[in-house]
Amino acid sequence: MLSYLRFRVLFGAWTMGKLYGLIFDVDGVIADTEAVNARASIRVFGELFGLHNVVREDFEAGLGRGAKEYVRAAAEVHGLELTAEQVEKATRLRQEYFLKILAEEPLPPFPGVLELIRAAMGREDFRVAIATSGTLEKSRAVLEATAVPYRQMAYINGNDVTHKKPDPELFLLAAERIGVARRDCVVIEDAPNGVLAAKAAGANCIAVTNSTTETNLSQADLVCDSLEQINLDIIQKMIDSN
């Protein structure tokens, strides 16, 4: 039996004209999870490796590349060579602490996120997806905490892909799942590696400066300070102009 989402994609392709795709990253786009990621990771570096001077900025090179590269980024900053076993242990503990923080503290979505998602889901010519390098357990916890209706959308997470950003696999799969041509999709990102992945996939990209500077996101088609500045008309014009 066809799922509702799959039926809607197929039926839409048969009965209407051009379709537009809107693909959301999670960490740093849906909510300020990067602050939680950093808190959990800083605690791990202190407990496992005795490093107590790690700061959020030390993880920046690993943003959007999955948990292992996130951990390796800070280790490299501090000249720490980690074995594969140490990285695995650190990422497991990091996720444990992340989920604990999420269970104990509220996590509001960034302004404009839910409004943009709901607007796109209400349009017959738009298809919406979540695509994140985060694990199923971790990303699902964020989506549920922020009340994103991910069960009504295509949902791709790090468990579904082999290659992490800046490889385009994640966004190629998202475009395939929603049945929209890559050139007719806009990816919403917050990290340089995510922007590179979106462009490598052949998609358009809007970057929001929630996690890093405008300069670091300069390869995106459009950079904004908040998704409150973005609407479906802007997205549609961006796609049609390309």
Rounded distance between C-alpha atoms, residue 224 and residue 173, angstroms: 25
Instruction: Dump pLDDT digits (tens) for 179-211.
Output: 999 999 999 999 999 999 999 999 999 999 999
- Return the pLDDT at 5: 52
pTM of the shown model: 0.85
- The set of residues, in sequence order, having a beta carbon less than 8 Å from that of 233 and lying 6+ positions away, is none
pLDDT score of 1: 41
First to last CA, the chain: 37
Sequence-distant (≥ 6) Cβ neighbours of residue 190 within 8 angstroms = 25, 27, 28, 29, 34, 63, 64, 207, 208, 209, 210, 211, 212, 217
Specify the 3-state DSSP secondary structure of 189: strand
| pLDDT digit string, tens, across residues 35-87 | 999 999 999 999 999 999 999 999 999 988 889 999 999 999 999 999 999 99
The rounded mean pLDDT for the chain is 93
How confident is residue 13, by pLDDT bands cut at 50, 70 and 90? very low
7 pLDDT band, cuts 50/70/90, is: very low
Residue 188: closest CA among 64, 5, 69: 64
| Domains of the chain with bracketed CATH | 4-32+107-241 (3.40.50.1000), 33-104 (1.10.150)
Q: Name the percent of the chain lying above pLDDT 90.
A: 89
Eight-class DSSP state of 182 = G
pLDDT value for 66: 85
